Amino acid sequence: MDRFFLTLGIVVFFLLCLWGMWVGWRRKSRSQSAQVPPFPGIPGDPGEILLESTGLYVSTTTAGNWQDRVVTRGAGLRTGAVWRLHPGGIAVERGGAPDFWIPREAVTGIRRDSKIAGKVMGTDALLVITWRAGDADLDTGFRGDELDDYPQWIDQLSPDNSDHDIKGGAQ
């Protein structure tokens, strides 16, 4: 009988932990929905594909705060993804989560990094794009299947290219 109550206590404690995490996630989502505007949808005709990479959408965080995950409107879901660079922006197509668009004029930086909420790696194996959505500065992280694609993304989206001319085509 003692074993029954001990097992029941452990199960109840586990369920309370799960409930607490769910309540915290919903609370954070509600507060962020006022701070972070809805992500733009992918335009109907975004133009030609200049670059394409497959991999894992890791997360979106507030810029500079690699652990402050944005969870509102499905942005907190880690999923397989395809990133496509078009002349007007980046189409982020995610399996099982809402797709979104990062307008080219909203991109303020791009870098390789080793950490973002949900993923910490020993090498700079993440591609992180810093961009503005309304008044919010965000970092969106991607773990590509081919790390050799990263220099092309950085070259195409670097803010140092002040004329914002799109170079080359899909490679």
In a domain, 68, yes or no: yes
Q: What CATH number is given to the structural domain containing 55?
A: 2.30.29.30
Query: Is there a domain that residue 109 lies in?
Result: yes
- Cα atoms found within 13 Å of the Cα of residue 89, Cβ hemisphere only: 23
Determine, yes or no, domain membership for 135.
yes
- Whether 32 maps to a domain, the answer reads no
Question: Model confidence over 44-101: pLDDT tens digits?
Answer: 889 899 999 999 999 999 998 898 888 887 888 889 999 999 999 999 999 888 999 9
Q: Is residue 167 part of a domain?
A: no
User: Is 28 a member of any domain?
Assistant: no
The number of folded domains in the chain is: 1
Length of the chain (residues): 171
In a domain, 77, yes or no: yes
Residues 117-149 pLDDT 10s? 878 887 889 999 999 988 889 999 999 999 999
Q: Tally Cβ neighbours within 10 Å of residue 104.
A: 17
Helix count (H) and strand count (E) of the chain? Answer: 2, 9
pTM of this prediction?
A: 0.77
Query: What is the distance in angstroms between the CA of the first residue and the CA of the last residue of the chain?
Result: 67
The domain of 152 spans 51-157
